[in-house]
């Protein structure tokens, strides 16, 4: 049989008709490129600015006022809190409330006037080394510009001194700026999201395609019992995956585990259930396993790009951060990095814990409601 363009044309028309009837496939053909275009074009910023900063002033005076004004007028730093002690400022850094802490030490003005070259301390949250590297590099010049007008007249000789003051930078939680400390714990959330949502998104659609869905409906069980029975095995799968990743994180990549393993396990369990509930909701909406996989892509892309895993979260515009806050992986990554790298306790991670628990409850309720509709 010879190759026939007419037969190829007939098959091409058939495929076109099938594609046109599949609205979800059409949505994916158009939606995924548009989503990537908007996320990469508008939401991604590798030079984050106006980063939240805490300021500790142990020597109030004209020099500290100039430094404060310089920080407030800068592009990289946004003073959100003035603390009374360095310990209070470090607690804000531990909880992730601020990215930097600037400490103007006691007797700074006196030592500056005497030419003793006092030291200003900049503490940076280095759990994500890329997010604050440019701000750290600009800090020295920013302080010099802030004090330029004050070091005139009798103090002009101090301004000419090299240097008039010192800047000490402490990169906390990751002093060597090791990117593995940021990426490897983040991979825990990404891998769990990818695998668990994918597996459970096919739970109900697989029953339909195999023709066993009617048998499931005929069983004397409640919708919640069916849903629990289908999700429970994947909870165990998720815990096994988590254990393997954590062991590799410690042994292979030498990422420290400074906090409570029990606290991390509780967050892991919540995160696993949240992803399983999302996948189960997709399985009740999709009519085939292919559609379930397509829906998973629409959830996975924003989860990875807007969570702070790939790009600095605080570098994104406000609308992108708002969308990122909805994603469970955003809060989970903060908990994982906080527990592993900062030794955070429950009180420290609670601001991230309750949104994750709320999402889990909402996703579970939606999955159950959708499954009941399929039964009716």
317 vs 271, more confident: 271
| Mean pLDDT over each residue of the chain, to the nearest integer | 85
Indicate whether 112 pLDDT > 90. Answer: no
What percentage of the chain has pLDDT greater than the value 90? 28
The predicted structure's pLDDT at residue 179: 84
Among 85, 78, 186, CA closest to 128: 186
Q: For the segment 131-165, what is each residue's pLDDT rounded down to a tens digit?
A: 888 888 888 888 888 887 777 666 666 555 567 78
Cα–Cα distance between 94 and 172 in angstroms, integer? 9
Comparing 247-261, 264-278, 287-301, the range with the smallest average pLDDT is: 287-301
Locus of tokens 């002033």? 57
The predicted structure's pLDDT at residue 245: 92
End-to-end CA distance of the chain: 51
The predicted structure's pLDDT at residue 162: 62
The predicted structure's pLDDT at residue 161: 58
Q: For the segment 256-286, what is each residue's pLDDT rounded down to a tens digit?
A: 889 999 999 999 999 999 999 998 888 888 7
Q: For the segment 119-135, what is each residue's pLDDT rounded down to a tens digit?
A: 899 999 988 887 888 88
Q: For the segment 185-242, what is each residue's pLDDT rounded down to a tens digit?
A: 889 999 999 999 988 888 777 777 777 766 766 777 777 888 888 888 899 999 999 9
Please report, for the chain, the start and end positions of each structural domain, with discontinuous segments joined by +: 51-172, 178-375
Please give the CATH number for the structural domain made up of 51-172.
Answer: 3.40.1710.10
């Amino acid at each position: 049989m010879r190759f026939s363009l007419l037969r190829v044309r007939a098959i091409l028309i058939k495929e076109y008709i099938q594609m046109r009837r599949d609205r979800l496939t059409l949505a994916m053909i158009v939606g995924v490129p548009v989503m990537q275009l908007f996320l990469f074009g508008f939401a991604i910023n590798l030079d984050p600015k106006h980063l939240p900063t805490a300021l500790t002033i142990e020597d109030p005076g004209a020099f500290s006022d100039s430094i404060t004004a310089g920080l407030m007028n800068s592009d990289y730093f946004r003073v959100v809190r003035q603390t009374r002690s360095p310990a209070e400022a470090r607690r804000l850094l531990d909880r992730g409330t601020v990215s930097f802490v600037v400490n103007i030490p006691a007797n700074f003005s006196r030592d500056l006037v005497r030419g003793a070259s006092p030291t200003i301390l900049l503490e940076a949250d280095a759990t994500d080394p890329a997010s604050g590297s440019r701000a750290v590099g600009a800090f020295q010049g920013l302080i010099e510009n802030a004090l330029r007008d004050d070091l005139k007249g009798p103090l002009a000789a101090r301004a000419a001194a090299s240097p008039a003051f010192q800047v000490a930078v402490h990169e906390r939680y990751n002093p060597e700026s090791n990117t593995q400390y940021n990426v490897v714990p983040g991979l825990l959330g990404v891998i769990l999201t990818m695998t668990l949502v994918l597996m459970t998104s096919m739970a109900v659609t697989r029953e339909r395609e195999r023709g066993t869905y009617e048998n499931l409906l005929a069983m004397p069980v409640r919708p919640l019992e069916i849903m629990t029975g289908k999700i429970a095995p994947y909870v165990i799968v998720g815990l096994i995956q988590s254990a393997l990743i954590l062991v590799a994180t410690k042994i292979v990549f030498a990422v420290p585990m400074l906090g409570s393993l029990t606290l991390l396990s509780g967050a892991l369990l919540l995160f696993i259930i949240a992803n399983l509930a999302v996948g189960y909701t997709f399985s009740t909406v999709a009519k085939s396993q292919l559609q379930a996989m397509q829906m998973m892509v629409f959830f996975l892309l924003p989860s990875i790009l807007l969570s702070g895993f790939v790009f600095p979260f605080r570098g994104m515009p406000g609308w992108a951060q708002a969308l990122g806050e909805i994603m469970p992986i955003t809060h989970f990554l903060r908990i994982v990095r906080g527990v592993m790298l900062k030794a955070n306790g429950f009180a420290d991670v609670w601001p991230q814990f309750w949104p994750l628990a709320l999402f889990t409850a909402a996703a579970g309720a939606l999955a159950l409601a959708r499954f009941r509709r399929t039964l009716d």
